[in-house]
Amino acid sequence: MSNIDFPFQTIDRLTFSPRPQPLSASLRPLYRIALIVLVLKTNCNASTASLLRLQFFNWLLKSPSLQELIKDKLQHQNTFTLELIHIDPMVNLALKYAFADNLISITSSSKYKLTDKGHEFANQILRDEHLVLIKEREILEPIGKRNLKVKLKETVL
């Protein structure tokens, strides 16, 4: 193996210039807030859901394999047993922002509920002629407000 000589002696100084990096849409809080509001409006009875249910729908929107599983089984059953569910901290952050902006409230049973302002925001998303969140809507709308139950399989360590 040959040694490579770097000309470090000729370098007087190193300069690093910060460059803006685009942030993926899935990491932007407004995108997550819009998804949460849309899920509460289109997929939750009384526009109310637990944190686990919101995490499930977030994972459903990110996982094509889970989308196929749900699509296949949804015709015959409403209860699904899953090995695990991915808990995304960005959902929690989006919930905090949505609460701070009065789009959602927290019920006495620690569930998240759309406020009037949240309903209006969801209606704006659904009325949008440019079909904002079209892929997500194509996944969520067929599920609707069915009494979908998700059970997590218990594992023993």
Cα distances (Å, whole numbers) of residue 78 to 1, 30, 142, 150:
62, 30, 13, 8
Digit-coded pLDDT (tens) for 45-69 = 999 999 988 998 998 898 888 888 8
Digit-coded pLDDT (tens) for 87-103 = 889 999 999 999 999 99
Number of domains in the chain: 1
Q: Is residue 76 part of a domain?
A: yes
Instruction: Give the mean model confidence (pLDDT) for residues 101-121.
Output: 96
Q: Residue 82 pLDDT > 60, yes or no?
A: yes
State residue 46's pLDDT score: 93
Q: Is residue 34 part of a domain?
A: yes
When computed from its CA atoms, the radius of gyration of the chain, rounded to whole angstroms, is: 22
Residue pair 47/114 in contact (Cβ under 8 Å)? The answer is yes
Q: Is residue 102 part of a domain?
A: yes
Confidence of residue 155 (pLDDT cuts 50, 70, 90): very low
Q: What percent of the chain has pLDDT over 70?
A: 84
Q: Is residue 1 part of a domain?
A: no
Question: Which candidate, 48, 38, 45, places its Cα nearest to that of 110?
Answer: 48
Higher pLDDT residue, 27 or 104? 104
Give the domain extent around 142: 27-152
The runs of H, that is alpha helices, within 15-155 are: 29-43, 51-62, 64-73, 89-100, 116-127, 134-143
Phi, psi of 107 (to 5 degrees): -80, 175
